[in-house]
Amino acid sequence: MSDDRKIIIFDTTLRDGEQSPGASMNLAEKLEVAQALADMKVDVIEAGFPISSPGDFEAVREVARQVRGPVICGLARCNEKDIDRAWEALKSAERPRIHVFLATSAIHREFKLKMDKNEILARAIAGVERAAGYLDDVEFSPEDAARTEPDFLCAVVEAAIKAGATTVNIPDTVGYATPAHYANVIRTLRERVPNIDKAVISVHCHDDLGLAVANSLAAVEAGAGQIECTINGIGERAGNCSLEEVVMAMRPRHDYSQCSTNIVSERLVPTSRLVSNVTGMLVQRNKAIVGRNAFAHEAGIHQDGMLKERSTYEIMRPEDVGFTKTDLVLGKHSGRAALADRIKHLGYHLTGEQLQAVFEQFKVLADKKKEVYDSDIASLVENQMSEIPESWSLVSYQMHCGTGGIPQVALTLARGAEQVTETVQAGDGPVDAVFLAIEKITGTDVKCREFRVHSVSMGKDAQAEVNVELEKNGATFRGRGASTDSIEASARALLTAINRMLATQGTPLHPQYTVE
Ligand code: KIV
Ligand code: ZN
């Protein structure tokens, strides 16, 4: 144990993770995730890229203001405007970090930046120096480092450290590296950069070849001290190194890694579910560590072995990563305190008002369903969090449909005190008819790019959860809805997405339904 090295866990779910298509989160969702990451004791939270949009700026600023414990980091390109904006967002953090990046590989230099090596060096130094003028904790990333010529990479890293970088991150931006290659890059930097001991070497791997976790572990073995990763491995393209996998790989195999982290591993499953719920990105059943089947033993021989001695087929215990023995928790007689306790366990932080609203919905659901599972509760909380004030909500719908006939729906929506009813007889089926009625009332005309239904828990009376993704003017908007009635869940999902769209793009003035 005396040789144990503490590896810094840098979570970029809110920045690189949020860049994955369809994973965008609103401010309340980002704050929930940031708080859950702090509860799990990640060392650094990369909260966003402040210059990239007003929404990202606000998210970084609020995480910096509200979340205590981890270092809060904001991303910036190597230019004054980006760095100043990042500092503006981060300045109220307890421990702020600015992360500046600039591509260094020949491909990026020639085709993207159109800059030569000297210009890159000068720009990197200027960027780090500007950030270091604001704070002591500066990270520098030579983007596409894994494809950068070793001599030039060493020169840039040395210059960045001299200019004030306290962490040098070595990204495998395009997921090109293999474990032996990547470990060699880290070893080369340690051997050839004279001031390398003045900075922490960080690794940032993408999963294009499915090697992000393996590459990160190889880099740690070669001397890296920080791993950049995301919950559920979400991120650009095939994603980033998965936090839960890389952290757990160092735990049962501590004999080999001789490394540990500060992560509270029991928070891994709740945090994974939270991120999956807020992003609408489902976790595959057989996903290592947090997938539903990760600890399910199906084969008779395995079950027999497990009954005799669990270590025959389990290298870690499900409870170590946050699976509870059963997630059947509440029923219609459960009170507010019990619900509040489950919500806290699931990683959500609600205000008293939000808790009251969820409690009321919980009572309605518990009346319809005998057994209320953690996943049902998470779904209710998500419904509450995705509500946008002053927006359309579903009041009721009546439907007539059947095989061979044209469906007919009478649907009523409310916005403020106003209620509007539309009757539609059209569509391919009941969901299409409901969507047409909603589009008519809200005055929108959207393209539905994705429509997914799945069961929130188990049993015939399980809630259906619907996720939709809409496209309008090149932007995408996600919505989710849950109900024991799958048509109602579809209507709610579409309305959430439309409300998000209207909040961003403005409400169209529908001649018939304009509400004063
Ligand atoms: O993949 C990458 O290179 C990045 C950098 C901004 C660190 O995400
Ligand atoms: Zn990245």
CATH of the domain at 425: 3.30.160.270
Q: Which of 360, 383, 406 is the last residue of a domain?
A: 383
Is the same domain home to 360 and 423? no
11 lines ligand 1 (CB under 6 A): no
Is the same domain home to 356 and 483? no
Alpha helices in 233-373 (DSSP H): 243-249, 254-257, 268-279, 300-308, 336-345, 352-368
Query: Whose Cα sits closest to atom 4 in ligand 1?
Result: 173
Residues in the chain: 516
> How far does the centroid of ligand 2 lie from the alpha carbon of residue 175, in Å?
9
Is the same domain home to 132 and 48? yes
49 lines ligand 1 (CB under 6 A): no
Alpha-carbon torsion, ordered 411, 415, 418, 419, to 10 deg: 10
Residue 253 lies in a domain: yes
Is the same domain home to 354 and 408? no
Query: Contact at 8 Å (CB) between 467 and 455?
Result: no
Residue 303 lies in a domain: no
In the chain (516 residues long), the average pLDDT of successive 10-residue segments reads 84 94 84 96 98 95 98 98 98 98 97 97 98 98 98 98 98 98 98 98 98 98 98 96 97 88 96 90 92 79 74 86 73 88 86 92 88 85 75 94 91 93 92 95 91 84 88 83 92 91 61 32
Q: Which are the contacts of 278, defined by CB distance < 8 A and separation ≥ 6?
A: 25, 29, 32, 33, 382, 385
- Closest listed ligand to the CA of 101: 1
The closest-lying atom of ligand 1 relative to the alpha carbon of residue 228 is 7
| Backbone angles phi and psi of 450, in degrees to 5 | -150, 140
Is the same domain home to 347 and 473? no
Residue 11 lies in a domain: yes
Is the same domain home to 241 and 161? yes
Q: Provide the pLDDT for residue 509.
A: 35
Q: Provide the pLDDT for residue 327.
A: 56
> How far does the centroid of ligand 2 lie from the alpha carbon of residue 18, in Å?
11
Residue 310 lies in a domain: no
Q: Provide the pLDDT for residue 257.
A: 84
Is the same domain home to 233 and 96? yes
143 lines ligand 1 (CB under 6 A): yes
Is the same domain home to 257 and 400? no
> Between vectors from CA 364 to CA 361 and to CA 367, what angle results, nearest 5°?
145
* Domain count of the fold of the chain: 3
Q: Which of 55, 62, 9 is nearest to 33 (CA)?
A: 62
CA distance 357 to 375: 17
Query: Whose Cα sits closest to atom 8 in ligand 1?
Result: 16
Is the same domain home to 21 and 67? yes
> How far does the centroid of ligand 2 lie from the alpha carbon of residue 141, in Å?
10
CA distance 68 to 65: 8
Q: Which of 261, 279, 297 is the last residue of a domain?
A: 279
Is the same domain home to 16 and 156? yes
Q: Which of 346, 365, 383 is the last residue of a domain?
A: 383
Residue 294 lies in a domain: no
Strand 418-425, strand 475-483: pairing: unpaired
Q: Which are the contacts of 462, defined by CB distance < 8 A and separation ≥ 6?
A: 369, 455, 456, 484
Residue 331 lies in a domain: no
Residue 515 lies in a domain: no
Is the same domain home to 71 and 204? yes
- Closest listed ligand to the CA of 143: 1
Residue 288 lies in a domain: no
Range of the domain at 495: 393-504
Determine the residue type at 230: T
Q: Provide the pLDDT for residue 473.
A: 81
CATH of the domain at 170: 3.20.20.70
19 lines ligand 1 (CB under 6 A): no
Is the same domain home to 261 and 238? yes
> How far does the centroid of ligand 1 lie from the alpha carbon of residue 75, in Å?
9
> How far does the centroid of ligand 1 lie from the alpha carbon of residue 182, in Å?
15
Distance of CA 364 to the CA centre of its chain: 30
Q: Provide the pLDDT for residue 514.
A: 31
